[in-house]
Structure 1
Amino acid sequence: MAVHKMKMGFMFIVTYMCFLAPVHQAHLPSATISDLSFKNMDFAMNLYRNISSYHDKNIFFSPLSISTSFAALLMASDGVTHEEILKGLNLEELERAEQPELIPTLFQLLHEGIVQNGSLKLDQGMALFMRQQFAVKEIFKGQIKRFFDADIKSVDFADTKGSIRFINEYIKHKTENKVTEMISTLDATTQLMMINTIFFQGAWQMPFNPNLTENAPFYIDNYNIVQVPMMFLEDKFYSMEDVPLGARVLKLPYQEGVSMLILLPNKGMDYTVIDDGITAERFLSWIKKLQKIKLEVNMPKFKMEESYSMHNILPDMGMASIFNNHANLTKLSKEEGLKVSEVLHKAVIEVDETGTTAAAATTTGIIAYSLPRTFTVNRPFFFFIYHEDTNCILFMGRVIDPTTN
């Protein structure tokens, strides 16, 4: 008698929202957390380059949200699948055979370090939606609750309309109504769905004056120019110039220890050339070499809403088996044929005057402050929203056209 094994789909959805952001100072000099933060940085840069190879449009995503979700899947996986996730997340050097819970523990400590004093508006959550009769191993269920404080909910996936409504309402609530229609279709044979949400809202330490915002040209390229509402602020800012890269860096601090770092390619410099030069080492060198000078800053207001099918992107980064019939998720369940069928990542950001809903110049102080210099963001640029104490990149993006949403 022939035995037919059912191939069970495992849908994994990552959703996150970035809005204007405040931050807080955590006191975590721990080298292990620093190691994780650094590895996450490199993962962010690698993922960015992979996404950018598909198109030359705006990009915005949360590397922390994606890496946290797959860190949870590390606990569910074994064999080749486990090794691929480790390598894809750039976490191989942090794996310890004698400490199987080290990586999830570091993610837990990193999250606690970021939100330690409670003043940072960063809500991150994880949820497992399981088919009502789906048998998840108790060890995994306990781990994902302990390390990621995950909600575990039973869903009747056969009722697709009811499941879609229930899950979208959950996401809408977790992102404070910013992500409202995460999923529109659902396979009735879905066994398990994982969702990670991250919501960040902050206010600038030095707000822009709305009365000074005026329309100004933004040069997408040599042939395309758009008019954008350009914000203006004159003050003392931390800035530096990366001469070898051909770009300038500006730090725009939010309240309570989170900042946006703007990377602006020099005039005439193709931003695609800079892509390959953005690394974790370089990011840290920018932060270390920042110097405070008086600047006139001109920055466009912009909104972005970006969605990515990560199951089409991550295999190019070596994470392939988890999405096919060779997936090894034996630590998740005894049920056979499990695989991740879908990974969706949706990111939203709004930057305005009040905040965001992210070789050093060697000049003497007298000269630096005698006349205001200008930092005019009127061409494609990169930005990073990061937590200062841990150097953890919460969000990362590229703006090619600030008028497209």
Structure 2
Amino acid sequence: MPSAAGQGQPEAPPCGSACSSAWRSSARRAPASATSTPGGAGRGPGSCRPPRPPPRTGTSPSTSSGPWWPPTPSRNIFFSPLSISMPLAMVSLGARASTKAQILEALGLGAQGGPEEDALHQGFRRLLQGLRRPPEDPQLSLGSALFVRPAVRVRDAFLSAMRTLYLADAVPTNFEDPAAAQKQINDYVAKQTEGRIVDLVKDLDSSEVMVMVSYIFFKAKWETRFDPQSTRKQDFHVTPETVVQVPMMRREDEFDYLLDRSLSCRVVGLPYQGNATALFVLPSEGRMEKAEAGLDQQTLTKWLKKLTKRKLQLYLPKFSIEGSYQLEKILPTLGIRDLFTSRADLAGFTNHSNIQVSQMVHKAVVEVDESGTQAGRSHGRGVCIQVGPMGSQMIVFNRPFLMAIVNAEGVLFLGKVTRPAGGHSS
């Protein structure tokens, strides 16, 4: 799987209230029943697409306001709020005292948990069980796992809850052989995602005690596909100074469309077979930071309600990007301070003292091509909006843009495409 071309590691996912807002929103939506997707255990169901409701918002201000990431001028971003919140909820089953309180607060449940905590776990159980149905579109490979040093005896009650609610397991792993441990973890994830996610963990050492991983891979077909014969190499303006050649797909049709004057951007919705929709957001010239700052739960809900049919000539890059994040370096900024330190209280997980999570790794991958999501040089630059034949409007995604993949359960993915993978300098 190619990474973000020419950009090194993607930017860290949202930090501070921005990131917790996304996770809290996903966590609160999890109790809804699953309608599409397979988990780490299998492939998920599709259905005749119902009217696409907007993602549901939480009740607290933090779930419905605030951007999901700070402005980032030069990096690709791609992550899954759902796939980050799930392993946090899972590990909370074995956490105690302040360690548990910090996790629950980050998930928007309050330090005491209560009925909402039980509803959260049951919601993930229903979601993951729904993912085990026979394979149809769309497909979503979603899961978590704990890899634990063999000397650490995991409590039977935690194992039972983990298997029942999250269809996951604690896998004995010999970290005294870091290379073998790394291969074991990466092979496990590659198998669960049919080889779509590889090399998830790196740089393990013999001191590791417990490594937590989460992974997600989405693959779906457009309701109406792009014609591969219409795909042509075109310029993509990474910056005013940097132009790369990318395969640009083209389709003329009626699309879900919205002009958001308040955020100076245009939004195009492309439905998948099933019940998911991709939103592609093209900011006006010089307005990317404004669009980024306004991308929150309320904005997505507003867009999905206001999209209307419009005849367009749409040009969209064929691309793949991925985001890989060491969450043990990010979560402390959200208030989860104890889990990765000697202060961690995981008494519900094991009776061993001084046990902490060594690493927590999240990776999300998207491929976009003519069938769907697997998820001479021009002197001009930026947005290309013209009037095409028969009055159709031409919209060309030939500069950095934002994207979201949503379904009835909420926000599956969020991303910023600054440089589509596979682009070559022109």
Report TM bin, short chain. 0.7 to 0.9
- Between 1 and 2, higher relative CO (CA 8 Å, sep ≥ 6) is seen in 1
Q: 2:125 aligns with which of 108, 128, 131?
A: 108
Matches within 5 A, 1:143-154: 143-154=161-172
Paired residues of 1:293 and 1:369 also in contact (CA < 8 A): no
Deviation at 1:369, TM superposition (A): 11
Matched residue type, 2:323 = E
Q: Could you say what secondary structure the match of 2:336 adopts?
A: coil
Structure 2 equivalent of residue 245 of structure 1: 263
Deviation per CA, 1:31-86, whole angstroms, max 9, x where unpaired? Answer: xx9567x88x949976x415x56x63111112211111111112122222222222
Structure 1 equivalent of residue 93 of structure 2: 75
Report the Cα distance in structure 2 between the residues aligned to 1:338 and 1:97, rounded to whole angstroms. 25
Paired residues of 2:57 and 2:297 also in contact (CA < 8 A): no
Structure 2 equivalent of residue 396 of structure 1: 414
Report the Cα distance in structure 2 between the residues aligned to 1:62 and 1:43, rounded to whole angstroms. 17
Paired residues of 1:22 and 1:257 also in contact (CA < 8 A): no
Matches within 5 A, 1:149-298: 149-269=167-287, 271-298=288-315
Q: Do residues 374 (structure 1) and 394 (structure 2) align? A: yes
Report the Cα distance in structure 2 between the residues aligned to 1:292 and 1:320, rounded to whole angstroms. 47
Deviation at 1:220, TM superposition (A): 2.2
Structure 1 equivalent of residue 347 of structure 2: 330
Q: Could you say what secondary structure the match of 2:195 adopts?
A: coil
Deviation at 1:223, TM superposition (A): 2.7
Q: Do residues 346 (structure 1) and 366 (structure 2) align? A: no
With normalisation by structure 1, the TM-score equals 0.81
Identity, % of aligned positions: 31
Aligned length: 369
Report the Cα distance in structure 1 between the residues aligned to 2:258 and 2:45, rounded to whole angstroms. 23
Q: Quick one: structure 1 residues 117 and 266, their matched pair in 2 at CA, closer, same or farther if it must change by over 3 Å?
A: farther
Deviation per CA, 1:184-210, whole angstroms, max 9, x where unpaired? Answer: 432223332323232321111111111
What runs of 5+ residues in structure 2 fail to find an aligned partner?
1-38, 376-386
Paired residues of 1:122 and 1:201 also in contact (CA < 8 A): yes
Paired residues of 1:27 and 1:113 also in contact (CA < 8 A): no
Q: Quick one: structure 1 residues 200 and 336, their matched pair in 2 at CA, closer, same or farther if it must change by over 3 Å?
A: same
Paired residues of 2:209 and 2:356 also in contact (CA < 8 A): no
Matched residue type, 1:177 = G
Paired residues of 1:58 and 1:397 also in contact (CA < 8 A): yes
Deviation at 1:275, TM superposition (A): 1.9
Matched residue type, 2:396 = T
Q: Could you say what secondary structure the match of 2:316 adopts?
A: strand
Paired residues of 1:22 and 1:203 also in contact (CA < 8 A): no
Report the Cα distance in structure 2 between the residues aligned to 1:29 and 1:304, rounded to whole angstroms. 26
Report the Cα distance in structure 2 between the residues aligned to 1:331 and 1:173, rounded to whole angstroms. 29
Q: Could you say what secondary structure the match of 1:275 adopts?
A: helix
How much is the aligned-residue C-alpha RMSD, in angstroms?
3.4
Q: Do residues 86 (structure 1) and 104 (structure 2) align? A: yes
Deviation at 1:375, TM superposition (A): 2.1
Report the Cα distance in structure 1 between the residues aligned to 2:174 and 2:50, rounded to whole angstroms. 44
Q: Quick one: structure 1 residues 83 and 290, their matched pair in 2 at CA, closer, same or farther if it must change by over 3 Å?
A: same
Report the Cα distance in structure 2 between the residues aligned to 1:353 and 1:96, rounded to whole angstroms. 45
Paired residues of 2:313 and 2:388 also in contact (CA < 8 A): no
With normalisation by structure 2, the TM-score equals 0.77
Paired residues of 2:324 and 2:362 also in contact (CA < 8 A): yes
Report the Cα distance in structure 1 between the residues aligned to 2:186 and 2:399, rounded to whole angstroms. 36
Q: Quick one: structure 1 residues 352 and 225, their matched pair in 2 at CA, closer, same or farther if it must change by over 3 Å?
A: same
Matched residue type, 1:385 = I
Paired residues of 1:24 and 1:257 also in contact (CA < 8 A): yes
Paired residues of 1:43 and 1:88 also in contact (CA < 8 A): no
What runs of 5+ residues in structure 1 fail to find an aligned partner?
1-15, 359-366
Matched residue type, 1:299 = L
Paired residues of 1:22 and 1:201 also in contact (CA < 8 A): no
